[in-house]
A and B are shown apart, each in its own frame.
Chain A
Amino acid sequence: MSLASGIVRSVYEDLRGIVLAPYNLAKEFRYTYHGLQRGEIPPKHVAWTWISTLGAVLIAGLLMFPVYWMFTIAISGGGIYSFEFLPTNPTLENFIWVIGPLTVPDNIVINGPLVGELFRIPVPASIGGLYILDPGQFGMPRRPEYYSGFIAYAENSAYVSFWTVVVAMAVIIPGAYGMSRRDFIGRKKLLYLYILLTQVGGGLGIAVLIALYTIFQNLGWLNELLPLGIYYGAGAVPFNTWLLKTYMDGIPISYEEAAIVDGAPSWRIVYEVIIPLSKAGLATVFVFIFLAGWTDFVIAQLMLDQNNWTLPVGLYDYSGRPSEMDWGHFSAFALAFATPLMLVYFFAQRYIESGLSFGGMEG
């Protein structure tokens, strides 16, 4: 589990960096101030630092402004959505609408994929049925139908993405290793094909949508989540195999040779040398594959009925026709959907950058 602990460690470091930022900044200010006083640092340099940093922050702020605007709408109630930089009467109502009433279940049921119910743990009657989140406290109705169904959509999305990741990882890791370290007839041609497909990938899925729809219809797979998950996994193969392969190319072959000399069988080389060394690449690929299942909208909206909708389809439904949409509800739903992914990206950025640097060797 070195991969997981490595990720946890780097997220921790990032968080510490953010928390300690004011302290470090203050230290730097003092240093600069003294430097200026003693004339060791030219004022021009300090001015340039200020100007360029402020400029960069301004640009970042401008680029992210639409998302911030969504946020201000989501926390302001009352149906009037003139832009205010800091809404005067912030409210959580819209977010509560997204989550809906939460109660302690009577039984905790653990379902296994495909096999259905695995365990059923009864919850003591004294706390069963109690509200964890009671909308009544906020003066909102307790009827579940009033709320967005976000959690049901998220369960569908999680189910789809689970299969996407399992199926895609199972074929991508050996594929990337084979492409990177072994030779066989047609290897270069296949790699070339994969590189071409990385660029045609998404559009290809939409271009063959008609055939896909009729095939799914014929096989009775319409409105089924499992085939959809496998489909996303299949679509993720070319790009991610290639990405992981370029990453593995950066691992010096001498590590493997050392392991061979020590008499390690080939599965141990993969398990103990290649996989730990390519953890940045694996993390990148994992994120990309997961997102493929979690975020696709086009195929899902065509294949699924409302009871099986995934999050993107649910979100699209709430966006409605612009004239009659509830801006507050829509914004809160959209942010609840996108914010976790934004955070993952923020913390995975260094992995993604090194994974995308095409053969760069890091980590």
Chain B
Amino acid sequence: MSTVSDAAQRFKESSIGSVLEENSSAALVLPGLLLWSMFMLLPMVYIFILSLTNAQPANLFVGDNRLLGLVPLGEADFIGLENYIELLFSIQAANDIQSGAYGAVFDLFLSDPVAVFNYSFWNSFLVTWAFVIVSVTGKVLLGIAIAMIMTGNRVRGKRYLRGVIIMPMGVPVIFSILVWRAVFSGAQFGLMNQLLLNIGVIDQAINWFYDDRWLAFSTYVVTEMWLAYPFMVLITVSALQNVNGDLLDAAEVDGAGFFSRMRHVILPSIRRPVMFGTILTSAASFQQFLIPFVFGTGAPNDQNQLLLLYAYVEAFSGNKSLYGKGAAISLTVLFFIGMFMWVAVKRGNLAEEAGEV
């Protein structure tokens, strides 16, 4: 008995023991972290390995070959950075780079800069950014406007109205997106077509997703705004409720009109929470997958394939599935999301907003 407690005592006094004891509370957090890592971090490592191979259904699920005895790789071969090069550059330029003919690539660039790059990828990349910029602006403005109206002094039944207003947040995303697909349906019964036909703006049904790329793009933006405004409203409402009433009264007594109160009192006090919400919602826009997936898989002609959808289509298209290529795109997306987040965190003082760190 005494030897056991002696050993325990010595263990406690040793440096490892004391470190363990001081940090025993970490045991509360570890299960969650491990669970998350198992389903998110491991796949991330695996996706990196896959992106260096020519994996596809035909070779990945064959045989029992495991890298280091752990990572299932089937009969897929490592091909280095080939996937990435093919992703960023056009077929011709990628071939030149792989054969070491950098001079040829440079010449091609001088004669026709666009021909050097992979159109699908860069198109998808730029469309994604356009989508982020346009939809985030829309969401934030709409959210603030609705929040201001719904907290107005003279509006009765605010609580119930707000309950109605935030409902889009409670309905499943797939429901909302399918409803909006019906709204923008190319059929005659699509709500938008019915409306425009009745007003007389158009005389035959518009095929919203397939006629014109920017028309389709604008349906994405409208849908995304509808999906995400409740979140902005929630954040803004709770920020507006924390605006110092004394300041507002003082401003009013001093004769400040609505717009100067807005500019000098309200906006400065809600700036930080709204900034926080904006960052969150920008990330959501950047990762939008379902809207283009449901609205015709990035139609017309795949021109509106946002980045994640582009990766998905490369990876899961029946016989032409290319896991390696899809993995490379996914990792590129992850990289950009990571960079974007990093900048946003540095700029937005996100950590302080969360109250800690």
A interface residues with partner B (beta carbon < 8 Å)? 17-18, 21, 45, 48-49, 51-53, 55-57, 59-60, 63-64, 66-67, 69-70, 81-83, 167, 170-172, 174-175, 177-179, 182-188, 190-192, 195-200, 202-215, 217-218, 230-231, 233-235, 237-238, 241-242, 246, 249, 291, 294-295, 297-298, 302, 312, 315-316, 319, 322-323, 327, 330-331, 334, 337-338, 341-342, 344-347, 349-350, 352-353, 356-360
- Please tell me if B216 contacts chain A, counting CB pairs below 8 Å: no
Cβ-closest chain A residue relative to B238: A357
Query: Taking A175-B29, A214-B50 as contacts, is the C-beta distance between A312 and B174 under 8 angstroms?
Result: yes
Contact with A along B23-54 (1 / 0, CB 8 A): 11111110111011011101110110010000
User: Shortest Cβ distance from A153 into chain B, in angstroms?
Assistant: 13
A198 to B44, CA, bound (A): 17
Besides A210-B47, A215-B72, A230-B39, 7 other A-B contacts (C-beta < 8 A):
A53-B154, A178-B25, A211-B50, A217-B61, A312-B172, A338-B175, A358-B273
A108 to B290, CA, bound (A): 39
Q: Which of B156, B159, B234, B330 contacts A49 (CB 8 A)?
A: B156
- Please tell me if B4 contacts chain A, counting CB pairs below 8 Å: no
Contact with A along B324-357 (1 / 0, CB 8 A): 0011001101100110010001000011011111
Interface segment, B106-114, B117-125, B182-190, B257-265?
B182-190
Are the CB atoms of A53 and B237 closer together than 8 Å?
no
Are the CB atoms of B226 and A63 closer together than 8 Å?
yes
Are the CB atoms of B39 and A346 closer together than 8 Å?
no
Cβ-closest chain B residue relative to A354: B238
Find chain B residues with CB under 8 A from A312 CB. 172, 174-175
Find chain B residues with CB under 8 A from A175 CB. 28-29, 31-33
A195 to B355, CA, bound (A): 11
Q: Which of A197, A249, A297, A331 contacts B172 (CB 8 A)?
A: A297
Are the CB atoms of A200 and B341 closer together than 8 Å?
yes
Find chain B residues with CB under 8 A from A357 CB. 238
User: Shortest Cβ distance from A250 into chain B, in angstroms?
Assistant: 9
A214 to B331, CA, bound (A): 16
Q: Which of A237, A298, A346, A347 contacts B32 (CB 8 A)?
A: A237
Query: Taking A56-B152, A175-B32 as contacts, is the C-beta distance between A185 and B26 under 8 angstroms?
Result: yes
Q: Which of B160, B175, B323 contacts A337 (CB 8 A)?
A: B175
Are the CB atoms of B326 and A210 closer together than 8 Å?
yes
User: Shortest Cβ distance from A359 into chain B, in angstroms?
Assistant: 5
Are the CB atoms of B327 and A211 closer together than 8 Å?
yes
A205 to B47, CA, bound (A): 12
Are the CB atoms of A246 and B29 closer together than 8 Å?
no
| Main SS class of interface, A | helix
Are the CB atoms of B170 and A297 closer together than 8 Å?
no
- Please tell me if B270 contacts chain A, counting CB pairs below 8 Å: no
- Please tell me if B213 contacts chain A, counting CB pairs below 8 Å: no
Interface segment, B7-15, B132-140, B310-318?
B310-318
A272 to B169, CA, bound (A): 32
Query: Taking A192-B351, A203-B337, A297-B173 as contacts, is the C-beta distance between A208 and B280 under 8 angstroms?
Result: no
Find chain A residues with CB under 8 A from B155 CB. 49, 52-53, 56
Are the CB atoms of B290 and A64 closer together than 8 Å?
no
A55 to B351, CA, bound (A): 38
User: Shortest Cβ distance from A315 into chain B, in angstroms?
Assistant: 6
Q: Which 9 A-B pairs have the closest CB atoms?
A: A203-B287, A345-B170, A178-B28, A182-B25, A295-B172, A211-B43, A171-B32, A234-B39, A208-B43
- Please tell me if B255 contacts chain A, counting CB pairs below 8 Å: no
Are the CB atoms of A195 and B172 closer together than 8 Å?
no
- Please tell me if B157 contacts chain A, counting CB pairs below 8 Å: yes
A198 to B279, CA, bound (A): 11
User: What are 22 residue pairs bridging A and B, where the CB atoms are less than 8 Å apart in the complex?
Assistant: A53-B157, A56-B152, A63-B229, A66-B179, A175-B33, A187-B29, A191-B356, A204-B334, A207-B334, A208-B46, A212-B39, A215-B43, A217-B61, A235-B36, A334-B179, A338-B171, A342-B167, A345-B167, A346-B163, A349-B162, A349-B166, A353-B162
Are the CB atoms of B189 and A81 closer together than 8 Å?
yes
Cβ-closest chain A residue relative to B195: A83
Are the CB atoms of B234 and A356 closer together than 8 Å?
yes
User: Shortest Cβ distance from A195 into chain B, in angstroms?
Assistant: 5
Are the CB atoms of A218 and B39 closer together than 8 Å?
no
Are the CB atoms of B280 and A60 closer together than 8 Å?
no
Find chain A residues with CB under 8 A from B178 CB. 315-316, 319, 330, 334
For residues 268 through 292 of chain B, which have their beta carbon under 8 Å from a beta carbon of chain A? 273, 276, 279-280, 283-284, 286-287, 289-290
Query: Taking A192-B351, A359-B355 as contacts, is the C-beta distance between A69 and B183 under 8 angstroms?
Result: yes
A358 to B178, CA, bound (A): 32
